[in-house]
Amino acid sequence: MTPEETYQWLVQHSRETEYLKSVSALLAWDQRTYIPARGHEHRAGQLAYLAGLIHTRQTDPRLAEMLGRVAESSLMQEAQGDAAANVREWRRDYERAVKIPQDLAVALARAGAEGETAWERARPHSDWETFRPFLERLVSLKREEAAALGPGEEPYDSLLDDFEPGETTAFLVPLFSQLRQGLVPLLEELLGAPRPPDVTISTRHFPRAAQEELARLAAWQIGYDFAAGRLDPTAHPFSTGIGPGDVRITTRFDEHFFPTAFFGTLHEAGHALYDQGLPPEHWGTPLGDSVSLGIHESQSRMWENCVGRSLGFWQFFYPLARQAFPTLADVELADFHRAVNRVSPSLIRVEADEVTYNLHIIFRFDLEVALMRGELTVADLPGAWNERVRRDLGLEAPDHSRGVMQDVHWSGGLFGYFPTYTLGNLYAAQLFACAEDELGPLGEHFAAGDFRPLLNWLREKIHSQGRRYQPRELITRVTGKAPDPAYLVAYLSRKYRDIYGLEG
């Protein structure tokens, strides 16, 4: 085979593997939306079987042979060219996959499916003891996975690298510490402000049907293509890309707390815009895939917060919200905007404001690292969680459903995922600042209902790149600077001091 023929073999093999992954993604979406109550056990078997098939393809010895054949060919001469980028990422994926025994890959898939089902059933009842054995099984398997991927190394790094390529615990610890040092004084200043927002505005009655209609309109207005997706209810909102032309989002509704569904929908639509913007001609190869969860999260948090909670956004959307919800008839735009940007420590991460949100992530990161190092047991996790909530947020978790069991991630074995939320916030602030430097003040476009300039900029700079660059390199190339928490602290300080009427 010529190098060109070898490369085409690799493309075809990759795409066939991605078809299996897309089937698995569709089954996982169904499990978290519409599966019958008695279908979970069979679904766990389906997902485990698919995981075995995928692992077999990912570790096919022919991959090593084919990658070796093209390694020194002319296809590799342009370091960031399409072929070279794909081959580099295929090799990275292969070298990671062959370190994980197939029985471990299957066990992880089954345990994740069973764990999510157990969590969904136990969480509403705050039933930690029923859920705990499933989590203990997952933690044990993830430690085993970490040991296989990086024996003798920081165990958390191997798990983190799966979600944020190139990132390490040693890099994140000082980064998060620097961010925390900027956030805590700002939080204290805002909590001491003489005129805080009236948060009761957000807790009036907002009928579900009207919420869903407005959320759909907002997702469509920012660019989400409903002909290539759908919006459905779920216990814990998520977005999933099945493949070109099929990128789905979910949300959950609370008739007495407006932000839950509306900003949750914008968040998931931000994820979906990234997936819908990936180059379809590269689907099935690394260049047709998102680069990391941190970059993914930068897109969702940007649309949720930098856009969705901006004054310009509500100058356009507030008249529509007033039409949808008569309960807002006596509320002025400025007061509504202040209400949806209130800052107050809260128990639930997904309902946290922009200033306190990262404090939620930082303590989850610390707990995950301790779990993977064996410094913390699952049995002691609720106590450790509650201690950090008291220390970092000044609150008491009244039950496990609003404490250690509130997030779905651990139930599916997604250790190493949480840090990407804060990385996403860091990236989003830096990218948004760069976009405004190049495009001018974006709030003027938002006030006119025009979100295309920002979306087109992101499509060019981020979405179209696939996995051509690793996350840190991508941010540096786009903004001209390495990831820096100063952008996020500056954005939050400027925005919230203005909203709260503080000087500086």
Positions annotated as catalytic residues are 268
What stretches of 41-163 adopt beta strand conformation (E)? none
What is the b/e burial string over 378-416, where b = at least 16 CB atoms within 10 angstroms of the residue's CB?
Answer: beebbebbbebbeebbeeebeebbbbbbbbbbbbbbbbb
- For 261, 271, 447, 464, the CA distances from 480, given in Å and listed in that order, are 35, 24, 29, 18
What angle is formed at CA 116 by the lines to CA 113 and CA 121, rounded to 5 degrees? 130
Q: What are phi and psi of 34, to 5 degrees?
A: -120, 5
- Give the list of residues 6+ apart from residue 260 with CB closer than 8 angstroms, or none: 251, 252, 253, 254, 350, 351
Residue that is written with structure tokens 């025009």 in the block: 450
What is the b/e burial string over 149-174, where b = at least 16 CB atoms within 10 angstroms of the residue's CB?
Answer: bbeeebbbbbbbbbbbbebebeebee
- For 12, 15, 294, the CA distances from 2, given in Å and listed in that order, are 15, 20, 38
Q: How far apart are CA 84 and CA 79, in angstroms?
A: 6
Distance of CA 388 to the CA centre of its chain: 22
Q: How far apart are CA 483 and CA 13, in angstroms?
A: 35
Strands 231-233 and 246-251: parallel
- Give the list of residues 6+ apart from residue 69 with CB closer than 8 angstroms, or none: 1, 3, 6
Phi-psi region of 244 (alpha: psi -120 to 50; beta: other; left: phi over 0): beta
Q: In 3D, which of 20, 112, 84 has the Cα closest to residue 58?
A: 20
- For 37, 201, 206, 212, 380, the CA distances from 326, given in Å and listed in that order, are 37, 12, 9, 15, 47
DSSP state of 152: T
* 500: three-class secondary structure by DSSP: coil
- For 72, 301, 416, 428, 487, the CA distances from 265, given in Å and listed in that order, are 47, 11, 24, 18, 25
H/E run at residue 431? helix 419-439
Q: What are phi and psi of 248, to 5 degrees?
A: -110, 145
Give the tokens for residue 214.
Answer: 């407005």
Q: Count H helices and E strands in the chain, helices first.
A: 20, 3
